Amino acid sequence: MQSPPRATQNDAAGVPTPTDKTSREEAPAMGECKGVESVGVDVDEVAPLGVDNFKKVSVLPLVFLIFYEVSGGPFGTEDVVKAAGPLLALLGFLIFPFIWSIPEALITAEMGTMFPENGGYVVWVSSALGPYWGFQLGWMKWFSGVIDNALYPVLFLDYLCSTVPALSSGLPKIAVVLALIVVLTYMNYRGLTIVGRAAIVLGLFSILPFVIMGLLSIPKLKPSRWLVVEKDVDWRLYLTKLFWNLNYWDSISTIAGEVDNPKKTLPIALFCALILVVRSYFFPLLIGTGALSLNREAWTDGHFSNVAKMIGGVWLSWWITGAAAASNLGMFIAEMSSDSFQLLGMAERGMLPSVFAKRSRYGTPLIGILLSASGVLLLSWMSFQETIAAENFLYCFGMILEFIAFVRLRIKYPAAPRPYKIPLGTIGSILMCIPPTILICIMVALSSLKVAVASLIVVIIGLLMQPCLKCAERKKWFKFSVSSDLPDLNGENDENVVPLVD
């Protein structure tokens, strides 16, 4: 890799500056969603970033990677029925996407195509608010992602224990969890091509039994069962589970540099994944609550296996159980890819030591993968509800920074090049961010004192860590550098750059 033309840190940031080697692209009219707005200067096409000699991720694998980043299927939605009953559960998975999922996916599409590089949201926030806050977002999102990933090996084992009770405790349980983490970590080490293919296979295997269950349930459906409203609603459990099952749309942006033509592929994949995720939640709940008499207390994690047994028999129940286990594997590999490539992207921007930017012979971020796997091992002892609550708390803090960055860029630089642009003006963009911001405030208010204190400690660690890293850079304890493969965000010597930080 050649030395960068300017090795200074991105103390100020801006719209990516193309290099002289790239071809020029004529900008379409302002306001077109799939084009680039004219800003009165020549803007070169920024090529998708990454290592060119490794195979890029195409649309279909990307759809299933997003599917597993966000969902993985209806497993884990059972508690929503227990918390609020059938009607509110069904309405929740229809209305909540408009409040949260669609705005987050749209912002990811716009910002992810504006900055098509590994690191994703870290680069967006750095460009709008400066590298300090970009680092804080990266720390909170990475930590919440590792917390989230610590759930999946344990949940996989819970499903396995229903058929092999000996694995429910003691050394056998520990051994299986460790072996599972090692195998899945190795898959991530071997590259995104393998991870993407695995996500497709696991996704189809997880979705197909619910299609069959839906066909078998048609004679048993009674629409009146969908209208049941419970009086004693557990709002904390209801909102926490809805939020957990429908967030993390922005995570896919951290591998944008590994995507084939991300400026076109990313918006298409997000749109397809959004439809897939909503359907994968809504229709299984529609089947389970409409085909059987309501037993609210039975609706806990794993209940879809019982629903399948009552509708289709033992064979379908086993398939659903296997699909649930496979779903946890898919979510683990997708989340680890996102977390590890985020660290690589931060290192390429000089926010972390250069060792984090080193790739294996398969093009994967070896240090990021090992660090993420270590975090999973350390955090896997946490209880399920505490894990979700802590993860949601940190995620909410990070999303506030993303919303601020998105709005700031829209207000101060509305004509900056955006290969995909949300078809809303400045006022519309601000209004779009209000409902999810209110939801964030509600989620934070619902957090327990224990979760809030633990999460704030994590935030404080990040606030102190960044100055320590800057000190280590000045004293040359670690090597930091900005990759020459990336567009310059400083724009100190380029007239074509629109600076995004005053």
Q: List, for residues 102-122, the tens digit of each pLDDT value.
A: 999 999 999 999 998 998 999
SS3 of residue 488 by DSSP: strand
- Look at residue 172 and tell me if it is in a domain: yes
Confidence check: pLDDT of 32 > 50: no
pTM of the model: 0.83
* Residue 488: strand pairing partners: 17
Question: Average pLDDT, stretch 427-432?
Answer: 92
- Look at residue 51 and tell me if it is in a domain: no
- Look at residue 499 and tell me if it is in a domain: no
For tokens 């896997």, name the residue: 380
- Look at residue 70 and tell me if it is in a domain: yes
pLDDT 10s digits, 454-499 = 888 999 999 999 999 999 989 889 888 877 677 665 544 333 344 4
pLDDT 10s digits, 278-318 = 999 999 999 999 999 888 888 988 889 889 999 999 999 99
The residue segments making up the domain with residue 371 are 59-474
SS3 of residue 24 by DSSP: strand
Taking every pair of C-alpha atoms in the chain, what is the biggest distance, in angstroms? 72
More confident residue, 325 or 254: 254
Query: Could you tell me the CA-to-CA distances from 43 to 68, 110, 349 in Å, in that order?
Result: 35, 17, 22
222: domain CATH number is 1.20.1740.10
Q: What is the C-alpha separation between 328 and 22, in angstroms, rounded?
A: 41
More confident residue, 50 or 67: 67
- Look at residue 193 and tell me if it is in a domain: yes
Confidence check: pLDDT of 67 > 90: yes
Q: What is the pLDDT of residue 487?
A: 66
The residue type of 475 is K
Residue percentage of the chain with pLDDT more than 70:
83
| Tokens standing for residue 73 | 């299927």
| Tokens standing for residue 53 | 């000699």
- Look at residue 27 and tell me if it is in a domain: no
Question: Average pLDDT, stretch 36-57?
Answer: 47
Question: Average pLDDT, stretch 395-405?
Answer: 92
Q: What is the C-alpha separation between 437 and 439, in angstroms, rounded?
A: 5
Instruction: Provide the domain count of the chain.
Output: 1
Burial class (CB in 10 A: 0-12, 13-18, 19+), 332: buried
- Look at residue 50 and tell me if it is in a domain: no
Q: What is the pLDDT of residue 29?
A: 37
Q: What is the C-alpha separation between 125 and 117, in angstroms, rounded?
A: 13
For tokens 């091992």, name the residue: 377
- Look at residue 317 and tell me if it is in a domain: yes
Confidence check: pLDDT of 162 > 80: no
Task: Pick the closest to residue 486 from 110, 54, 117 (CA basis).
Answer: 117
